[in-house]
Amino acid sequence: DAGVTQSPTHLIKTRGQQVTLRCSPKSGHDTVSWYQQALGQGPQFIFQYYEEEERQRGNFPDRFSGHQFPNYSSELNVNALLLGDSALYLCASSLGQEETQYFGPGTRLLVL
């Protein structure tokens, strides 16, 4: 039973660039949520996708956008990168209204 997978594992970008992170949900799951975890802090909710639509969004600027594909996989895009965007980006999947979210290994983004 494949768990949540994310790619890439690590990424280095410079300020002003754009980045795309990818997530494949756990087998059988249809809902994907994205979180940002700064060093030494708890994860912060970015947004959630279900049925290819953004269903809920946290307190993040429009530079953060996403997409969900028909196979339930998802992408997180961040434009005009800032130094403060350096963080661990976590993807979590769940089954519809099922409450338990299962997390992937994350993508570590460093913005120089």
Partner 1 sequence: AQKVTQAQTEISVVEKEDVTLDCVYETRDTTYYLFWYKQPPSGELVFLIRRNSFDEQNEISGRYSWNFQKSTSSFNFTITASQVVDSAVYFCALSELRSSGSARQLTFGSGTQLTVLP
The number of beta carbons lying within 10 Å of the beta carbon of residue 95 is 15
Q: By rule CB under 8 A, what string of x and - marks binding of each residue 42-81 to partner 1?
A: xxxx--x-x----xx-x-----------------------
CA distance 107 to 88: 6
- Identity of the residue, 13 or 50, whose beta carbon is nearer to partner 1 in the bound complex: 50
CB of 59 to partner 1, least distance (A): 11
Phi-psi region of 72 (alpha: psi -120 to 50; beta: other; left: phi over 0): left
Identify whether the C-beta of residue 72 lies closer than 8 Å to the C-beta of residue 23.
Answer: no
Footprint of partner 1 (CB under 8 A):
33, 35, 40-45, 48, 50, 55-56, 58, 88, 90, 92, 97, 99-106, 108
